[in-house]
Structure 1
Amino acid sequence: MNARSVVRPYVLVPDLHTVSGCTVNNGGCGANATCTYNATTKAVKCSCKGGYTNTGSSVNVVCTDSCTVNNGGCDPKATCSHDATTNAVSCICKAGYINTGSAVNVVCTDSCTFNNGGCGANATCSYNATTNTVKCTCAGDYFYMGSASQDIRTVNISANAKWSQNGVTIAGGHGEGGATNQLNLPRGLFIDDDQTVVIADFENHRIMQRKNGDTTNGQVVAGGNGQGKGLNQLNGPTDVLIDKETDSLIICDADNGRVVRWSRRSGTTQGEVLIDNINCYGLAVDEQRNLYVSDHVKGEVRRYQGCDKIGTLVAGGNGKGAGLNQLNYPTYIFVDRDHSVYVSEWQNARVTKWNKGAKEGIVIAGGQGAGSALTQLNGPLGLFVDTLGTLYVVDEFNYRVMRWTQGATQGTVIVGGNGQGAGANQFYNPYGLSFDRYGVLSVVDAGNGRVQRFSIE
């Protein structure tokens, strides 16, 4: 047999892109591009995804984060970021600027040129280009309350939450006195996010601070220079707040008839008067740093914003009484994120809720006369409202703290209620109340000169 040569057919191997299109290695387009394939021309096309810009060419597409290219097309006074869902570019005006354009076309304008930067009619607005912030300078003897954003603590507490029935003393508890490990008829308190506690030490005419982990003495952070009306003195303070924006304390200096501010910075020796000639008792602040103050003599609550010494009436103001448009000896107050105001009415033995703009309050706890039944309160004082709308309130003369769920006709006792006393499960005229971010409860036990902490179980 004659040997024959074997002829192998010639096979044309086409370019990978024409065979697989976009299915292999995204067509060579890169991770931040979308690949499309034209079956007729057998061409691959690379297009940058949302939030990315082509910094290469039409032939060699290079997709770069749009925010790194000309600030993503945002105004130079805006911060460029990406939408978490679509990854599209989002432009947000920097602090000190306001968007005078639209959501699509963001135009950042110096805040002072728009509505006076929110400073109000009695202030001059100025802009600091270095810090990108607005500064409001009040005219005459006005003091600025503030309009910048402040994070207001919201506490998520389970509807079935329970607390230890025996409290742990975290301040005072060494008898009545003026030493730094003592308190004398303390009233209101405030707990910061780092669990620092500040306490209105009424009879010692001072504000005491207790940092988390302190086991011995507290620190005097305002007053403490004897009873008096000097700017370095306090006279019977009943409530205190921490203003994070200015790193200062806002204090109801009750027996001096004024609200004062003390810087928390080292070396501060005196405060400044914010509001004078007011029978203040309780204080609250909303997320825009508007200040709310209860006046127990006039039977009203007012909101103060910007350079303001008159305030806007938000609750009561119709004389003392039991009508739904009245308050009777309002003490402590709470403001939620909807700007509803909750008021403890000591002499009406009830707590009322005043929705924003309302002319009348709604009774949400008590209101059945003073008494010890679960439908009643007897001397309501410190209060707090959680994210579920559940009310927690000190019931002074029943020596207990109660919880009232939204819409409930009666409350439940969560701590105390074991008669007047100095035991770990007892109170003697409790006053202030607050929760930390974890739902741990702290109660001012005035008659025992201490602050008790109750862990959540």
Structure 2
Amino acid sequence: MRIIVTFLLILVSALNVQSLFESYIQLSQLSSQFQPANSIEQLETQSVSSFMQCGYICNRNIQCRTFDYDSSSTICRVFEGALDTGLIIPAASTSRVGFIKYSSLYFIAINQPCTQCIESRYLTCSNNVCQCPIHTFYNGSQCENQRYENASCLTFVAQWNSTGNTVAGDAAASSGIASNRLNFPYGLKFDSSNALYITDYNNNRIQKWIAGASNGSTVAGQINGASGQSSTFLYGPVGLVLDSNDNMYFSDRANCRVMFWANGASSGSTIAGTGSYGSANNEFENPSMIEYVSSTNILYIADTMNHRIMKYLLNASSGTVVAGGNGQGLSNTQLSKPYGMALDLSTNSLIICNYAAHTVVRWILGANSWTLIAGSSGVSGSSPILLYQPVGVTLDQYGNIYVADSGNHRIQCFLVGQSSGITIAGIAGSYGTSATQLNAPFGLILDNQLNLYVADTSNNRVQKFARY
């Protein structure tokens, strides 16, 4: 629930416009703090006795648009940065953000004589007329903050419910072959009707799970979980993508191939790989996650044990190496067991989970090396700047990166340009079957509301973490 707090400071002189020096302040949920786009936006820091007093400090400063207060430390911070340029991020349970609410009514004196705004909180007197305060501009309705060059104009609250809801498989983590069970789910994708497709690795099948259903249906492989090499059998499916017609492309890992399976079909066809392990350009060794670009009919395949990413044109007999391929290693021209990846079309690059190097890297297509996004090459750990065996990765529309940090049993969110992650699901270093825990998560996906779905692999279930 959001609360509106009003500060009213009665002025001695009555004004024609905005006679009360007031602020309408909206509050965030607890366990949050403000992160400005730039540290110079912090106006002041004080130790005060209450959130209300912190709001009073913000109210009396015409530049203040946002503040946060931690009742434990009694620290009040006030900022000229606003929610359309900064972020609300998770913090201690005793911390909360307040932000000034604006109305066009507060700015009707813009460009009027200074007598109309001499005591206004929202306008200043400049050259004998009412103008917007410093670092803001008039947008035709109200004064808003100037943007930094090349900055995004958005509000993003990086906060999810820490308690997951089981949407597929058994909430108690039991595995099985029945239609209401999974056995090591890996990849996740939504179809055009928002049904969830799951690669059920140890059951050698792909399950379709309609939202709210208690059972899934088998859409590829055998219902009984039998493995095999023929066109109707699978052996350890991992990565999965769907095209606009809900046709499936997936990596059949233990068969060292990538298959195409038409929507509603009872068998598939091999479109990449030979069915045997190898390192030639037409072979794979344990292919994992895949990406598909429908406009160009290109598949990108994580060839995990060959430490490379392969690019395949549909119907091509072999692929080309687009990342790695220089042996396993930690240099910026090498990969080390790449598992998950995500295609970032805005930068024409692949975001790659470098599993054995404990890093997430960006490889621009056509480049000879990667740049580091998160983690420290060859160093594992559970701090916000370290990872331990990252396997799955996805992006949101803002460019924030989400990583399944499997060895730490958590999901990390890396905001744009940040190398320090925010844990949004799971508990670092603590695996278990409770609704707040994960056990070696692998695949992850966001819906159009940015709710998070996680393949909680060793718990044999898929968990949904709702975004606030």
- TM-score calculated relative to the size of structure 2: 0.61
Q: Does 1:167 align with 2:164?
A: yes
1:24-43 equivalences under 5 Å are none
Indicate if the aligned counterparts of 1:402 and 1:412 stay in contact, CA closer than 8 A. Answer: yes
Aligned length: 298
Q: Does 1:393 align with 2:403?
A: yes
**Structure 1 unaligned runs (5+)?**
1-155
In structure 2, distance between residues paired with 1:163 and 1:192: 23
Structure 2 match to 1:431: 442
1:136-182 residue CA offsets vs partner (Å, 9 max, x unmatched): xxxxxxxxxxxxxxxxxxxx995323111101100001611100100
**Superposition pairs of residues 209-248 of structure 1, within 5 angstroms:** 209-214=208-213, 216-224=214-222, 226-245=226-245, 247-248=246-247
The answer to whether residue 315 in structure 2 is matched with residue 317 in structure 1 is: no
Matches within 5 A, 1:17-416: 158-173=155-170, 175-214=174-213, 216-224=214-222, 226-245=226-245, 247-265=246-264, 268-276=265-273, 277-279=283-285, 280-288=287-295, 289-338=297-346, 339-368=348-377, 369-416=379-426
Change (3 A) 1:416 1:318: same
* DSSP-derived class of the 2:442 partner: strand
CA deviation profile, 1:285-343 (whole Å, cap 9, x unmatched): 12524211010121111222243132232211111100101100000111022331111
Shift of 1:406: 2.7
3-state SS of 2:254 partner: helix
> CA-to-partner distance for each residue in 1:419-457, whole Å, 9 max, x for gaps?
110010000111110001111110001111100001110
- Give the letter for the 2:179 counterpart: T
Aligned-residue Cα RMSD (Å) equals 1.7
**Deviation digits for residues 119-146 of structure 1 (CA, Å, limit 9, x no counterpart):** xxxxxxxxxxxxxxxxxxxxxxxxxxxx
Letter in 1 for 2:352: V
Sort the Cα spacing of 1:363 and 1:409 in 2 relative to 1 into closer, same or farther, 3 A.
Answer: same
Q: Distance in 2 between matches of 1:158 and 1:197?
A: 28
Deviations 1:185-223 (A, max 9, x none): 111111234321111101000001111232x21000000
Which structure 2 segments of 5+ residues have no match? 1-152, 274-282
Matches of 1:434 and 1:390, distance apart in 2: 13
| Alignment check: 8 A CA contact 1:324 1:361 kept | yes
Indicate the SS of the match to 1:326. coil
CA contact (8 A) 1:193 1:437 kept: no
The residue matched to 1:233 in structure 2 has which SS? Answer: coil
For 2:460 and 2:315, locate their aligned partners in 1 and report how far apart those are by CA, in whole Å. Answer: 37
Change in CA separation of 1:375 and 1:364 when aligned onto 2, cut-off 3 Å: same
Partner secondary structure for residue 347 of structure 1: helix
Which aligned runs of 4 or more in structure 1 are off by greater than 6 angstroms?
none
Contact 1:187/1:432 (<8 A) preserved: yes
Structure 2 distance, partners of 1:336, 1:192, is 20
Cα distance between partner residues in 2 of 1:317 and 1:440: 35
Q: Do 1:177 and 1:184's aligned partners in 2 also have CA atoms closer than 8 Å?
A: yes
Compared CA separation, residues 453 and 158, structure 1 to 2 (3 A): farther
CA–CA separation in structure 1 for the residues paired with 2:419 and 2:237:
34
Compared CA separation, residues 374 and 161, structure 1 to 2 (3 A): closer
Match of residue 96 from structure 2: none
Residues 349-400 of structure 1, C-alpha deviation per residue, up to 9 Å, x if partnerless?
0011011211101110112511111110001011112233211000011110
Deviation at 1:282, TM superposition (A): 0.9
Provide the secondary structure at the position in 2 that maps to 1:335.
Answer: strand
**Helix, strand or coil: the match of 2:202?**
helix
3-state SS of paired residue (2:306): coil
Q: Kindly indicate whether the alpha-carbon contact (under 8 Å) linking 1:193 and 1:436 is maintained by their aligned counterparts in 2.
A: no
For residue 253 of structure 2, what is the amino acid of its counterpart?
A
User: Counterpart amino acid of 1:302?
Assistant: M
Q: Distance in 1 between matches of 2:388 and 2:180?
A: 30
Equivalent pair of 1:286/1:336 in contact (CA under 8 Å): no
Q: CA 1:311 to 1:235, structure 2 compared with 1: closer, same or farther past 3 Å? A: same
Specify the code of the residue in structure 2 equivalent to 1:404: F
- The reply to whether residue 449 of structure 1 matches residue 460 of structure 2 is yes
C-alpha distance in structure 2 between counterparts of 1:367 and 1:296, whole Å: 20
What does residue 149 of structure 1 align with? none
Letter in 1 for 2:406: E
